[in-house]
Structure 1
Amino acid sequence: MKPSRIPLAWLLGAAVPAFAACPPPPEAGARLDSGPIQLAWRAEPAPIAVSRPFALIVTLCPAEARLLRVDATMPEHRHGMNYRPSMQPLGSGQWRVEGLLWHMAGRWELRLDVEAAGVTQSLRQSVTLP
């Protein structure tokens, strides 16, 4: 029996309806997209302040995606956070990330590693603390 070949374009097209039905709402916060994964995040408390602990509420689409890791670095200074955050699933694609603390003003690069359908993506966003 000859193996079946499914065109990549068809696979990507087949994923669009489920993906399109799931964009995070605007109130979910800053938005990042990477292939089939969309996410939004917002800080609690907001805004993020230097040397003040904060949490993130992360909304993932598709909702079945898993948040694997959250980290932040200061590329110009070649260092990151002094703490490792913990992640807790809240259900329906939402996660709470606690234990973040950015100890310096300047540009931070927030990195969120997400797994969906067996594929891991790293989504990054630059955030500047005054």
Structure 2
Amino acid sequence: MDSQTPNAPEVYVDVREIPLAQPFSILISVCTEATVHEVRVDAIMPAHQHGLNYLPEVSALDEGMFRVDDLLFHMPGQWKLQADVDFSRRSVSYTSEITLK
């Protein structure tokens, strides 16, 4: 995932498949020695000016690993996956572009 924040820790997304109009899960890895207090995930369709119909559930796994369940992209097109990661002293936003056919 990409961030506009200088010196932001690397964040990676692991996703096997993104089905249309069906719930799916992803794994998020935050590569840092700092404590991650919270991860929030959302997605929007910039061309249509709307986002998800339901908020996904984020669960902490091992240190720096998070599972995101119940993501559901209800229509095909360009989506922007967004993750906000809260560290000890700051919050960093990350995005990743996804095209769903």
Q: Aligned residues: percent identity?
A: 33
**In 2, Cα distance between equivalents of 1:108 and 1:36:** 22
Pick 1 or 2: higher relative contact order, CA cutoff 8 A, min separation 6. Answer: 2
Larger strand share, 1 or 2: 2
> 1:66 deviation in Å?
3.4
Taking structure 2 as the reference length, the TM-score comes to 0.87
Structure 2, unaligned runs of 5 or more: none
Q: Number of residues paired by the alignment? A: 98
CA contact (8 A) 1:65 1:93 kept: yes
**In 2, Cα distance between equivalents of 1:96 and 1:51:** 19
Q: Is 1:52 matched up with 2:22?
A: yes
Larger helix share, 1 or 2: 1
Q: Is 1:69 matched up with 2:40?
A: yes
CA contact (8 A) 1:37 1:116 kept: no
Structure 1, unaligned runs of 5 or more: 1-30
> 1:60 deviation in Å?
0.6
**In 1, Cα distance between equivalents of 2:30 and 2:84:** 11
